[in-house]
Structure 1
Amino acid sequence: MSDTDIKDMEKALEAILSMADKGKKAQVKFRRGTSQYTLLENRIYALNIAFSLINKELGNDMSQEFERAALENACAPIQSLISKSEKAQTKLKPGTWQYVMLENNIKALYIAWPLVLKELDR
């Protein structure tokens, strides 16, 4: 793995951690059992899987294994986050902090996505 790949993955870890933290903060605003709460719960879980898989790819001591069902359940939230982030980014002016944040999030999710698929193929 090249130094660039490693740096991209380390940046992806930061972006995914940030997305999960924001999701946790937003989740407390909703009542358990509501669709908003469940949506955020699923996204946070998927982001945690993505975070673990990137760490594993970097060779960090992440011995956590995921059941096939967990990986399958992570697919829709990750794809949804990619789609929604790309759509939101089209409405922003390039160079703004929001645009850059979404760009980093999208890159991170595109790094995580093939790792999830790779785990599903095992």
Structure 2
Amino acid sequence: MNLVEPSITDGKSEPELDKEYPMSNCSEKELSDALKIISSTISKCEKAQLKFAVGTSQHSLLKNRIKALYISQSLVLNDGSIKTYTHEELTKALPPVTSIISKTEKAQSKYEKEGAQYRRFEPIIKAMQISETLIKKELCKREEC
């Protein structure tokens, strides 16, 4: 498993990319931690999806979320499988990831910053921010920004 992030060869210098995508210089450990969280979230979403009938809004939401998480997983793994996803699929993956960040931050805000409940949301938020950044970078790479 290669956890080194994909590089972009679109002519932008690394400092420019760092400003545009603040999570772009993740360590191996950060990527590994993100991968664990993404994989766990996929599993939880797939289990939850079974509880809803096909065609319901909950089922559709989970279907979209699961696809976005698989795209995120592919990007973190950097195993070349991202090439199987279209530009449109990458674009559609952003809203579910952004939604997870937003909902997790909202849940986190209900707790004291020093508390364990607050801290338990941090790794999820970080993993989704990494996912969001990698999706944006892949889109930029394909659009030759």
Which category describes the TM-score, using the shorter chain as reference length?
Answer: 0.7 to 0.9
Give the superposition deviation at 1:81: 0.6
Matches within 5 A, 1:102-117: 102-117=121-136
**Structure with a larger share of its residues in helix:** 1
1:64-107 Cα shifts (integer Å, max 9, x gaps): 412001001101101101100000011134442x4344211100
Task: List structure 1 runs of 4+ shifted beyond 6 angstroms.
Answer: none
Confirm whether residue 25 of structure 1 aligns to residue 47 of structure 2.
yes
Cross-structure match for 2:58: 36
Query: Percent identity over the alignment?
Result: 45
Give the superposition deviation at 1:37: 0.5
Alignment RMSD (CA, Å): 1.6
Q: CA 1:14 to 1:95, structure 2 compared with 1: closer, same or farther past 3 Å? A: farther
| Alpha-carbon distance in 2 for matches of 1:73, 1:86 | 21
2:71–2:82 CA contact under 8 A, matched in 1: no
Give TM-score, length-normalised by structure 2. Answer: 0.73
Alignment size in residue pairs:
115
Give TM-score, length-normalised by structure 1. Answer: 0.86
Cross-structure match for 2:81: 63
Give the superposition deviation at 1:21: 0.9
Q: CA 1:99 to 1:17, structure 2 compared with 1: closer, same or farther past 3 Å? A: farther
User: Any gaps of 5 or more consecutive residues in structure 2?
Assistant: 5-25
Give the superposition deviation at 1:117: 0.7
Q: Which has the larger radius of gyration?
A: 2
User: Any gaps of 5 or more consecutive residues in structure 1?
Assistant: none
1:10 to 12, 21, 32: 32
